[in-house]
Amino acid sequence: MLEFKLLILGLAILLVTIYLYVIIKNKENFIGDIANQPISVQLLGQIAAKLGVSVRRIQNLVYNGDVETQILTVSFTILDPNVLEVNNGEKNAQTVASNANSLFTNNNFTVKINNINVRLTKANMGSRNIPTATLDNSVYFNNTGLPDVANYAHQKYIQVPNDPSLTRFYSLQMDGNFNIKPVLQ
């Protein structure tokens, strides 16, 4: 009976040891996975967490600098929340943008990238056309080539010949014996 209790105790200790090993190994892999992510992905997640919004709402992220210097210059656009995000209590884009601007002006916008605390500064617009952390409803779809594509399609549509034989269709009609026959109109 004593051998049976020792066997059960040994199996329990073995199972706990294996369980702890798996937990510690998964935690190391998780931390390693975060460190292996690109800086842009880490930065996007950290900005969203700092502002209390979902990652989807941070768009047009542009950053410049080196993480090792612990200062990055960033620029981004904040989208309005969708229905699910509003239900989760996320604030509108104007409120989030003003919070981001106050963090920038007070030099309190710090994030953690590769386990390094990095201070974010706002990018100057200057001569470059970089979107800022303000609400800009015109940046959702900015494709300057669309008028050229529309003009090309319009020209091709006008140049297609209109052949009357191509627009004739069959219709079903009854003959004298009440049989249905297709007739070309």
User: For 1-10, what is each residue's pLDDT tens digit?
Assistant: 888 888 899 9
DSSP characters over 62-101: EEEEEGGGTEEEEEEEEPPP-HHHHHTTPPPHHHHHHHHH
Strands 110-113 and 116-122: antiparallel
User: Residue range 61-87: average pLDDT?
Assistant: 88
Q: Are residues 6 and 92 in the same domain?
A: yes
Average pLDDT, the chain: 80
Q: Are residues 62 and 150 in the same domain?
A: no
Per-residue burial over 133-156, b = 16 or more CB atoms within 10 Å of its CB, e = otherwise: bebbeeeeeeeeeeeeeeeeeeee
Q: Which of 13-27, 87-101, 145-159 has the highest mean pLDDT?
A: 87-101
Alpha carbons within 13 A on the beta-carbon side of 108: 9
User: In one letter, which amino acid is 83?
Assistant: V
Tokens of 77: 């656009």
Percent of the chain with pLDDT over 70: 78
Overall domain count for the chain: 2
Residue with tokens 């900005």: 47
User: Which alpha helices (H) appear in the chain, and where do they start and end?
Assistant: 2-36, 39-51, 83-87, 93-105, 146-159
User: Residue range 93-111: average pLDDT?
Assistant: 90
Q: Is the torsion defined by CA of 61, 64, 67, 72 positive or negative?
A: negative
Tell me: the pLDDT tens digits for 30-48?
A: 555 555 678 888 889 999 9
- State residue 142's pLDDT score: 60
Binned at pLDDT 50, 70 and 90, residue 53 comes out as very high
User: Residue range 127-150: average pLDDT?
Assistant: 56
Q: Are residues 43 and 123 in the same domain?
A: yes
Binned at pLDDT 50, 70 and 90, residue 12 comes out as very high
Closest CA to 135 of 99, 166, 107: 99
Q: Are residues 49 and 121 in the same domain?
A: yes
Give the Cα separation of 92 and 106 in Å (integer): 22
Give the Cα separation of 148 and 144 in Å (integer): 8
User: Residue range 178-184: average pLDDT?
Assistant: 87
Q: Are residues 84 and 23 in the same domain?
A: yes
More confident residue, 170 or 29: 170
Give the Cα separation of 128 and 123 in Å (integer): 10
User: Residue range 17-27: average pLDDT?
Assistant: 83
| Residue 177 lies in domain | 146-184
Q: Are residues 16 and 107 in the same domain?
A: yes
Tokens of 9: 């105790």
Q: pLDDT at residue 74 above 60?
A: yes
User: Residue range 75-104: average pLDDT?
Assistant: 89
